[in-house]
Amino acid sequence: MIVSPDAAKLDAEVDQSLLDWYRQLSLVERLRAASRSAALLERLRRAASTDR
């Protein structure tokens, strides 16, 4: 695979400690965390669009 300079920069920006934390979660815990985060982000997005 060819890795562009931009891709290499993005690779370097991956938060390894966040990966460590997330990998401690079980499969089901990961699903729950992702769903809760998505719901919160969506509520924030809608609130932000209302506040404009």
CB of 31 to other proteins, least distance (A): 4
Q: CB-wise, 18 or 48, nearer to other proteins?
A: 18
Q: 36 with 44: CB under 8 angstroms?
A: no
- Interface map 31-50 toward other proteins (x if CB under 8 A): xxxxx-xxx-xx--------
Alpha-carbon distance of 48 to 37, in angstroms, equals 16
Closest residue by Cα to residue 22 from 11, 42, 37: 37
Distance of CA 5 to the CA centre of its chain: 22
* Residues that bind other proteins in the complex, under the rule CB under 8 A: 1, 7, 10-11, 13-14, 16, 18-19, 21-23, 26-28, 30-35, 37-39, 41-42
